[in-house]
Structure 1
Amino acid sequence: MGWFLLGAPWDCSASGRGEAGAPAALRATGLTSLVETDLGDADTVISGGVRDAETGVLALPSTLAAARSLTASLTAALRDRPGSRPLVVGGDCSLLLGVIPAVRPAGLWFVDGHPDYLDGATSDTGETADMELAILTGDGAPALASLAGAAPMLEPSAVVLLGHRTEDLDPASAAEVARLPDAMHRIAAPELLAGPAAAGRAAAGLLDGDGVWLHVDLDVLDPSALPAVSYPQLGGPSWDELAEVLAPLAASPRLLGVSVTDFRADLDPSGEYAERIVELLRGIVR
């Protein structure tokens, strides 16, 4: 199966933070050579950094517009390229609010250092990157949770969360982990580090259904491997360990496509981390 590239310069902080520059930085480092077609960027620029009074979500109107734009771009690309898989490069992880309504997967492999299961009341910032997994599984601002029609977009049992930290957490982070639904499959960072390849194989076998989306938030990596993220957190895998986790998921015949997010290009002036990301993706997009 072939691959096409779609950029999503999505920054839910509406501050011009460095994630929005990731698609351009990765293209400059050779990302386009991994795919058959580069479709450019969807219109996902988010502005208006004010928290919605009712939901507590930052930049809610602009986020809704960005999600709908990404859904429309990805839907058209999938229609025009039947049989091809999308590689969606962000931007931050809440771009999934635009991806999932277009792809409508049966399941989601969600690789992230954080569970992203806050809401507008519990998030300090109101950024949708704090809460997109909650929104996708029906626990969030109604306007966002219903982007694909009826909520939830995904049942909690259709999600495998991999790599989130569960040790040495501050009280707020521990409370976020405690909010996760019991039905959601989880392979936390300590288990993942104990056997990266085994963790990937386990995740590959946990979900039912014909099509699964793979989402990789690069802050799952330990900061010693990738410091160029907005919210680094100790206790994550190395590059090689992450590649071992992803290999069984990338090889699955049920894989629909991949999203990669949360690389701060502005914190990588030499381009060394962009090169490492492209090398990681070379093992996935094949």
Structure 2
Amino acid sequence: MRHFMIIEAPSNLGLKELRQGVEPGVRLLPEALRKTELALEAGINHVICVPTLPYSMDIDQESGVRNAEAIAHYSEKLAARVREAVEKDIIPIVIGGDCSILIGNTLGLKSTGKHYGLFAMDGHHDYMWPEHSGTAGAAGMALAIVAGKGHPKLTNIRQLSPYIREEHIYAYGNRELDAAYVQLIADSRIHYYDLPAIRQMGIHAITSSFLTMIGHAGLDGFWIHLDVDVLDNDVMPCVDSPQPGGLSYREWEETLQPLIASRYFKGMNITILDPTMDRDNRYTKAFSERLAGLLRPAVKGLSSN
């Protein structure tokens, strides 16, 4: 029997303002998914919240990252909850928030003293450091940070860098294909699959390769990072950096089903869905229904592998 819980992580510290004086609305996603009854529909009974710190636009001069001190502090708070869950063999579903919550989640995994992989589904690769960022937002640097690239204020909390080793990361779904942007991750040891590569190679081949890597590397499990902007903009426009194209819901489900069913699956976070951009709640509700449908079989103990 697999035990699940939801951890609400309503942090928007990793993003710049939507417009002057308006903070990002991703902090409202946990509340929005409570209203859709995600936990009830997925069959999850245990829900906790890790309250965020106040939002600001301040750029930390030492690191070059917006809100770096606050993000480091919040990451430690979130990491403690993730570690507690994983050590009790509970699978946390962490509802963000922006992509900077990945720092706390992977810090929590690393602090268990074990070794994990990461399957990062994102319409951007988020593998950059401050000098390459146009926003100074940690959300767009999250994958690099967890791999140990960037200022130690975020990459080396409690001297645990890297939280996930590059060779144990699959980056899946980028469709911002500018050559200069892609070069950073192409030069890394991360297994990188942009949207054209996914369509060419096939979803099953990539997810099977990832699960094989987890086993062959002797890892203790893996985490899924799900930025909803990996989905096609037609079905998920409620994001801060929308782009044409993306995965259909069918492709999204085909990707996630074998991962969530795996015995190596140890947790997942959901980020970037901004309910303030969804006036009639239809995109949020559709997403919640799809996510509950993916989680329900695992929660009920129908998964294997």
Aligned partner of 2:7 in structure 1 is: 6
Equivalent residue for 1:265?
Answer: 275
For 2:226, which of 201, 216, 222 is the aligned residue? Answer: 216
Number of equivalenced pairs: 279
CA contact (8 A) 1:67 1:98 kept: yes
Alignment-derived partner of residue 178 in structure 1: 183
SS of 1:260's partner is strand
SS in 1 for 2:181: helix
Letter in 2 for 1:201: S
Q: Which of 56, 69, 72 is matched with 1:61 structurally? A: 69
The alignment status of 1:192 with 2:198, answered yes or no, reads yes
Q: Distance in 2 between matches of 1:135 and 1:103?
A: 15
Structure 2 residues not aligned, in runs of 5+: 18-22, 299-305
Matches for 1:233-272 after TM superposition, within 5 Å: 233-272=243-282
Structure 2 residue aligned with 1:146, among 137, 149, 156? 156
- 1:99 is aligned to 2:105: yes
Q: Which residue in 2 is equivalent to 1:87?
A: 93
Q: 1:148 deviation in Å? A: 4.8
Higher share of residues assigned helix: 2
Alignment partners' CA distance in 1, 2:273 and 2:67: 21
| Residue of 145, 151, 161 corresponding to 2:171 | 161
Which amino acid in structure 1 is aligned with residue 66 of structure 2?
L
Secondary structure in 2 matching 1:179: helix
Q: Secondary structure at the match of 2:6?
A: strand
Distance 1:214 1:282 in 2: 16
Q: What is residue 43 of structure 1 aligned with on the other side?
A: 51
Preserved contact between residue 56 and residue 67 of structure 2 (Cα < 8 Å):
yes
Q: Partner of 2:20 in structure 1?
A: none
Q: Given that residues 2 and 35 in structure 1 are in contact (C-alpha distance below 8 angstroms), is that contact kept between their aligned partners in structure 2?
A: no
Which residue of structure 2 aligns with residue 230 of structure 1?
240
Measured in 2, the distance between the counterparts of 1:205 and 1:284 equals 22
Letter in 2 for 1:259: N
Match of 1:203 in 2: 210
Q: Distance in 1 between matches of 2:204 and 2:249?
A: 13
Corresponding residue SS for 1:284: helix
Distance in 2 separating the partners of 1:13 and 1:166: 18
Deviation per residue, 1:33-89 (Å, 9 max, x gap): 12433333102234231111222100112111211111123333445xx22211001
Residues 166 and 228 (structure 1), Cα distance of their counterparts in 2 relative to 1, 3 Å cut: closer
Aligned-residue offset at 1:133: 0.6
One-letter identity of the residue aligned with 2:7: L
Distance across 1 between alignment mates of 2:47 and 2:16? 24
After superposition, the CA RMSD in angstroms is 1.8
Kept in 1: contact 2:32–2:275 (CA 8 A): yes
Describe the SS at the equivalent of 1:160.
strand
Residue 281 of structure 1: aligned partner:
291
Letter aligned with residue 21 of structure 1: L
Any gaps of 5 or more consecutive residues in structure 1? none
Q: In percent, how many aligned pairs have the same letter?
A: 30
How far off is 1:270 after superposition? Answer: 1.4
Calculate the TM-score normalised by the size of structure 1: 0.91
The aligned counterpart of 2:122 is: 112
Look up the match of 2:303. Answer: none
Which amino acid is 1:176 matched to? Answer: Y
- CA displacement at 1:232 relative to structure 2: 1.3
